[in-house]
Amino acid sequence: MTEHELTAGDVARMRTPLWEQAKTAIAQGHPGDAVALIDRAVDQWAALKDYSINWITSLLTFIGEELGEEAVEQALRKTGDEFVRPRRDTGTDWGSLPASARAKIIARAMLANMGAVEVEEDDEKIILSFRCGSGGKLIDDGRYEGEHPYLLLRDRAPRTFMRDELWGYCAHCSVNNEIQAVEWGGSPASIEHPPHAAGEPCVHHIYKDVSKIPDSAYERIGMTPPER
């Protein structure tokens, strides 16, 4: 008879997510064990997230190198039409929400993506400055440098916010969050200002009144500003 290498406890732990194990530890009165299990779960999520953003950016790099930068935009547009738009179709116009609600939603998503945020507010807008856990992390990790660098978009176009250069991964911000958001009949999710260099934050401007978004914000994504 072959001796089993896995114990019943091994199998139970393999079948039970760490956060469920943490709940059990809390119920059994072991808060220290629960905290350690939550930290392990976060570490696992961070590793999977890093794997995913590198996978995505590697694919976008291949598309850009083989088919050109326009093809990168088309790939992102397909994702926008088939995945992003249905997620945002809540029945409530984004621009009609209070700026505080829009800012909280964006900040929540960025924190869930292992980022960090600083918050400021003036009379016209809320300003979120992120250490981005996805695109920003790729920049800070030097993934656009070295022997196999990821794609830098260099065609000055709406997809680069009319910049001379934009990190390939960050083009989903221009295409999905601003260009397509306007094409779908709304306003940009926020006005984003991606970093120019490693260590810089990604800055989002959330206007309290979306009708006061500057004309320049539309012009940089190739859109005609709406009539005021």
3 domain residue, yes or no: no
* Mean pLDDT of the chain, nearest integer: 96
Tell me the mean pLDDT in the region 26-45: 97
Give 161-196 as a 3 state SS string. Answer: CCCCCEECCCHHHHHHHHHHHHHCCCCCCCEEECCC
Tell me which DSSP letter residue 57 carries: H
Residue 189 has a pLDDT of 95
pLDDT at 2 exceeding the cut of 80? no
Would 36 be classed as within a structural domain? no
Provide the percentage of residues in the chain whose pLDDT is more than 70.
100
Would you say residue 135 has pLDDT above 70? yes
The vertex-154 CA angle with 107 and 61, nearest 5°, equals 70
Question: How many alpha carbons lie under 13 Å from residue 140 in its C-beta half-sphere?
Answer: 16
Residue 222 and residue 179 in contact, taking contact as beta carbons nearer than 8 Å: yes
Q: Residue 142 above 70 pLDDT?
A: yes
Please check whether residue 110 lies inside any domain of the structure. Answer: yes
| Dihedral Cα 107, 113, 115, 120, nearest 10 deg | -10
Q: What's the pLDDT at 137?
A: 97
Q: What is the mean pLDDT of residues 44-65?
A: 97
Give the model's pLDDT for residue 4.
Answer: 86
Q: 118: helix, coil or strand? A: strand
202 close to 192: Cβ distance less than 8 angstroms? yes
Its domain, for residue 123, covers 68-219
Quick check: helix, strand or coil at residue 4? coil
In a domain? residue 34: no
Digit-coded pLDDT (tens) for 208-219:
999 999 999 999
Residues 102/181, Cβ–Cβ less than 8 Å = no
Specify if 21 maps to a domain. Answer: no
Summarised one tens digit per residue, pLDDT across range 161-220 is 999 999 999 999 999 999 999 999 999 999 999 999 999 999 999 999 999 999 999 999
Indicate the pairing of strand 202-207 with strand 191-193: antiparallel
In a domain, 176, yes or no: yes
Q: How far apart are CA 158 and CA 223, in angstroms?
A: 8
Confidence (pLDDT) at 1: 65
8, part of any domain: no
Number of domains, the chain: 1
- Which residues lie below 8 Å from residue 124, measured CB to CB, with a gap of 6+? 207, 208, 209, 212
Examine residue 96 and state whether it is found in any structural domain, yes or no: yes
Rounded Cα distance, 99 and 206, in Å: 6
Q: pLDDT at position 227, please?
A: 84
Instruction: Summarize pLDDT for 77-122 with one digit per residue, the tens.
Output: 999 999 999 999 999 999 999 999 999 999 999 999 999 999 999 9
